[in-house]
Amino acid sequence: MALTNPIYKNGEPSKETKTSPIRFFLIVSFFLLLLILIGFRAYQLQWESEPRLKKIANRQHQTIIQLVPHRGAIYDRNGEELALSIEVSSLWANPKEIENRKLVAKKLSKILNLSYFHILKLLNVDRSFVWIKRLLSPQLKNQVEALNVKGLYFIKEYKRFYPNYNEGAHLIGFAGMDSRGLEGIELKYDRLLVEPPNFLKVKRDGLGRIIHLDTHDELLSSGSCNIYLAMDSKIQHIAEEALDKGVKKTKAKAGMAVVMNPFTGEVLACAVKPGFNPNAFSRFKASDWRNRVFTDTFEPGSIFKTFLLAAALQSRTVRPSDIFYCENGSYIYGGRVIHDVKKHGWLTVSKIIKYSSNIGAAKIGEKIGRKKLFTIIKNFGFGKSTLSGFPGEASGMVRPYEKWSNMALANISFGQGIAVTPIQVITAFSAIANGGLLLTPILVKKVVDENSDPIWSAKPNIKGRVIDPIVASQVNQILKMVVSEDGTGRRAQIEGFEVAGKTGTAQKPSPDGGYYSDRYVSSFMGYVPANKPSIAILVIIDEPKGPFYGGVVAAPIFKEIAKKSLQHLGVMPDQFIFAKKEKRVTKRISVDKKSPVRCERLNKKVIIPDFSGLTIREVLKAINGTGLNIRCKGNGRVVAQYPAPGKELLKGGVVIIRLSPFL
């Protein structure tokens, strides 16, 4: 049987044989094209996608952990540290290395004051890195290290620390655990203070387990700025101490005290009670963090009569000697009764302010008129931000004069029906103290870089003139009468100094309308020395129990703050306590070498001796070791001193002496 060739049919090549070269060509072309595509893709992967692939590989084999960044420091005007970043340790664990997790969790819970179950849950995760607790104190770190447990490790981070604790906390504010500013100056200047964050590289194996933790591989930061506040920490301490004592004594709900340089607008102190510790801010209520000097409004009461007086004199509506009938303490006006604390008949404008007559103020306001009074009130800065820059500063509220009824005009004249902030009041009051110029409050004195090179410095910013110098002088003379022996502010008197000020007692408004009959805001504002002020101070006591008049409650707090601040600043008294004979000291004055003058110590206080006739060297010898400071004027021997002999001063206090040369 003959075999046939399958590729031939009837002696001719089959159809399949004819198409074989074409198929072969197509197959070869396909594989060649595939090889070209693979080669091109390999080229792309090798050269063009290398950065992206490296990034993916790094993510798979390396983790970046963000650490708490460093923040720049905050200082007071004299360079005393108020806020700084300190190096602390944070605790982390590699659970895969810990053998007895339950035992370790039990030991850590006792040391760290954390829940046993919380720590155990962290240790039971299928990971090689978990935070246990961050920002440990050195004591806690030492206790954990003493456990000597494999799998527990420490990383250095930064923690914000406030060395003065609650003092100045409401102005300084605080930063959170992540080193971001949350309140106050810390929040306002967060971008300047915080450095770019530090990072920690964690390398992993193919299974995602940690194989290397480089605790020193931190990215370089570009540096942060440091901030110097206008605050004087010594005056801040004085204000905090006096306010705290006053709030406790009166059992008040709250209190505020702010000290300003009236010629620059610098805020030298800003105290608020109740206070809080920024090192442990989470333990306090959020309402305790609020800086009420900037964020809260209140009806000012009789301290507002100061600005009524300025408006009346500036508008040439009245003169200090003009007289008004004060209705013997009760006056029906606008359908309501206006009362005075004491009954008065005819009073001059000066005495209306001196005795704080509501009836007299209402009549002065009526004579000024709505539009003029409104205009000058607005010129003093009420009803708008002071532009201090403090976060959350309120604007207060002054209704348009077109909406004032007769009674509203009367109320505003003695400080009701208007909402103001303490920073507005002290800023406006400083305009009277400095001769009529309204300034912007200064909170930050300067900003420097990490090398202490200046970036920015504050300069007094004059918004405008609100009253003429002669009007400011007239108001000053009347405000000095308020602090005279028979004025409402007599408890603000300071030995050796003239004080100008105004008392205030305001009923608190009720949310339902009207005013509470048993809730008051007591206040006093003053500046000293009256004829050349160094400081202006506002004290506000919210809801004191018992006596509630501003002259009784707030004026003594003003006195304590002012007296100690003047000593600290070395301001010379208007009247020195002179030696018995106010003559030039001669050589006949002898100093008993056997019985040198010494300062007597009494607990934490020092009793001031009589320095009369001593040289400056002998005075310095007398105060050696007491902690007192001396400010002197002139040369020779002492002819006058302040405080007087026998007075008491705390350590750090200042004694001011005047010397006269030998004949």
**Residue 485 burial by Cβ neighbours in a 10 Å radius (0-12, 13-18, 19+):** exposed
Task: Indicate whether 325 pLDDT > 90.
Answer: yes
Lowest pLDDT segment from 188-192, 210-214, 306-310: 210-214
Residues 308 and 208 grouped into a single domain: no
Question: pTM here?
Answer: 0.77
pLDDT by residue (tens digit) across 500-539? Answer: 999 999 999 888 878 888 899 999 999 999 999 999 999 9
Task: Indicate whether 598 pLDDT > 70.
Answer: no
Is 318 part of a structural domain of the chain? Answer: yes
Is 77 part of a structural domain of the chain? Answer: yes
Domain count within the chain: 4
Whether the CB-CB separation of 537 and 554 falls below 8 Å is answered with: no
Is 2 part of a structural domain of the chain? Answer: no
- Cα dihedral 105, 108, 112, 114 in deg (nearest 10): 10
Whether the CB-CB separation of 115 and 106 falls below 8 Å is answered with: no
Lowest pLDDT segment from 150-154, 206-210, 277-281, 431-435: 206-210
Is 10 part of a structural domain of the chain? Answer: no
Residues 200 and 275 grouped into a single domain: no
Residues 134 and 41 grouped into a single domain: no
Residues 45 and 150 grouped into a single domain: no
Report the pLDDT value the prediction gives residue 616, as an integer from 0 to 100.
86
Contacts of 592 (CB under 8 A, 6+ apart): none
Whether the CB-CB separation of 303 and 295 falls below 8 Å is answered with: no
Among 517, 525, 449, 589, which residue's Cα sits nearest to residue 256?
A: 525
Arithmetic mean of pLDDT, 266-276:
95
Is 447 part of a structural domain of the chain? Answer: yes
pLDDT by residue (tens digit) across 8-60? Answer: 555 555 555 556 777 777 787 787 888 888 877 776 666 655 666 556 555 55
CATH number at residue 106: 3.90.1310.10
Q: Which residue has the tokens 């405008």?
A: 464
Residues 206 and 253 grouped into a single domain: no
Q: How many CA atoms lie within 13 A of 488 on its CB side?
A: 31
Whether the CB-CB separation of 423 and 388 falls below 8 Å is answered with: yes
Indicate the pLDDT class of residue 663, thresholds 50, 70 and 90.
very low
Is 11 part of a structural domain of the chain? Answer: no
Residues 203 and 303 grouped into a single domain: no
Arithmetic mean of pLDDT, 115-119:
89
Is 486 part of a structural domain of the chain? Answer: yes
Residues 39 and 129 grouped into a single domain: no
Task: Indicate whether 209 pLDDT > 60.
Answer: no
Cβ neighbours, 10 Å, residue 396: 22
**Residue 126 burial by Cβ neighbours in a 10 Å radius (0-12, 13-18, 19+):** exposed
Percentage of residues in the chain having pLDDT higher than 90: 50
* Residues involved in catalysis: 302
Q: Which residue has the tokens 């003959």?
A: 2
Residues 79 and 154 grouped into a single domain: yes
Task: Indicate whether 68 pLDDT > 80.
Answer: no
Strands, E assignment, 249-351: 254-260, 267-273, 323-325, 330-333, 336-339, 346-348
CATH number at residue 504: 3.40.710.10
Joined together, the tokens standing for residue 284 give 């306090």
Task: Indicate whether 206 pLDDT > 70.
Answer: no
Q: How many CA atoms lie within 13 A of 368 on its CB side?
A: 31
Picking from 170, 197, 225, the residue at the C-terminal end of a domain is 225
Report the pLDDT value the prediction gives residue 582, as an integer from 0 to 100.
41
Arithmetic mean of pLDDT, 134-151:
87
Nearest-angstrom CA–CA distance, 490 and 497: 13
DSSP string computed for 480-549: HHHTSTTSTTGGG-BTTB--EEEEEEEEEEPTTSSEEEEEEEEEEEEEESTTS-SEEEEEEEES-SS---
Q: Which residue has the tokens 């504010």?
A: 173
Arithmetic mean of pLDDT, 390-410:
93
Arithmetic mean of pLDDT, 195-200:
62
Residue 343: alpha-carbon gap to chain centroid? 43
Picking from 225, 255, 290, the residue at the C-terminal end of a domain is 225
Residues 348 and 428 grouped into a single domain: yes
Residues 239 and 274 grouped into a single domain: yes
Domain that holds residue 52: 27-63
Residues 525 and 420 grouped into a single domain: yes
Greater pLDDT, 204 or 161: 161
Arithmetic mean of pLDDT, 430-459:
93
Task: For residue 441, say if its preceding peptide bond is cis, omega within 30 degrees of 0.
Answer: no
Nearest-angstrom CA–CA distance, 364 and 305: 10
Residue type, 470: I
Indicate the pLDDT class of residue 396, thresholds 50, 70 and 90.
very high
Picking from 550, 569, 588, the residue at the C-terminal end of a domain is 569
Is 341 part of a structural domain of the chain? Answer: yes
Residues 221 and 247 grouped into a single domain: no
Which long-range CB contacts under 8 A does 531-535 form with residues at least 24 apart? 531/476, 531/498, 531/574, 533/262, 533/263, 533/433, 533/434, 533/500, 534/261, 534/566, 534/569, 534/571, 535/235, 535/259, 535/260, 535/261, 535/262, 535/268, 535/562, 535/565, 535/566, 535/569
The number of residues in the chain equals 663
Joined together, the tokens standing for residue 180 give 């971001």
